[in-house]
Amino acid sequence: MKNIVITTLVASAFLAGPALAQDKTMQKPAADQAGQMKTPPAGTAMPSSADAMGGMTMADTATAKIKFVTARPADVTSSKLVGKNLYNNKNETVGEIEDLVIDNGKTVTGVVVSVGGFLGMGERYVLVDPASIFLHRADGKLKAMVDTDKDTLKNAPEFKYDKKNS
């Protein structure tokens, strides 16, 4: 079987399926002929740089025509990552991937990892840079790995995360 190692979590790998952006991306409203700034009607989405670059936009209504894309063989969907155990180089479980943080509907900027605890008690969350997580695919299974130990993750700055209200 051919092994594929993906060295970084690329935003396009996660954005092949739907996800939610964290907040609205707004640009200045256009000026009318007299140079006065126009205010868009309530509920109208402002164009953003994400629109031109393929990202998602927060809005009250959808204003862009739907487009379809093709996933590449190395792409990974978020559903394949969320819930995966995170292993270190000694093949020890050091955490579990809980969620992804997506900036402006385009770029994965963090991976929420639960560490510590037992049966959901005493668990805490840390936010890991996607570039520090490596993926390995063997025998049709995906494995997420980091170069760290349990203590380093347990002592990392806590990320305030509520699974129930995310």
Instruction: Specify the CATH number for the domain of residue 85.
Output: 2.30.30.240
Residue 115 covered by a domain = yes
Residue 102 covered by a domain = yes
Range of the domain at 147: 4-15+71-165
Q: Read off the amino acid at residue 137.
A: R
| Range with lowest mean pLDDT among 11-20, 26-35, 64-73, 116-125 | 11-20
CA distances from 115 to 13, 81, 101, 105, 137 (A): 24, 16, 17, 26, 23
Query: In this structure, are strands 124-128 and 107-115 parallel, antiparallel, or unpaired?
Result: antiparallel
In this predicted structure, what is the pLDDT of residue 148? 95
In this predicted structure, what is the pLDDT of residue 19? 37
Kindly state the DSSP code that residue 24 receives in the 8-state scheme.
-
Is pLDDT of 9 > 80?
no
Identify the burial level of 83 via C-beta atoms within 10 angstroms of its C-beta, where 0-12 means exposed, 13-18 middle and 19 or more buried.
exposed
Mean pLDDT of 139-153: 92
How many Å apart are CA 112 and CA 134, to the nearest integer? Answer: 15
Residue 78 covered by a domain = yes
Backbone CA torsion sign across 31, 61, 9, 119 = positive
Query: In this structure, are strands 141-145 and 85-87 parallel, antiparallel, or unpaired?
Result: parallel
The pTM for the full model equals 0.64
Mean pLDDT of 151-158: 92
Residue 31 covered by a domain = no
| Range with lowest mean pLDDT among 43-47, 67-71, 85-89 | 43-47
The per-residue pLDDT for range 79-132, each reduced to its tens digit, is 999 999 999 999 999 999 999 999 988 889 999 999 987 766 778 999 999 999
Identify the burial level of 17 via C-beta atoms within 10 angstroms of its C-beta, where 0-12 means exposed, 13-18 middle and 19 or more buried.
exposed
Is pLDDT of 42 > 60?
no
Query: In this structure, are strands 141-145 and 4-6 parallel, antiparallel, or unpaired?
Result: unpaired
Residue 33 covered by a domain = no
In this predicted structure, what is the pLDDT of residue 99? 94
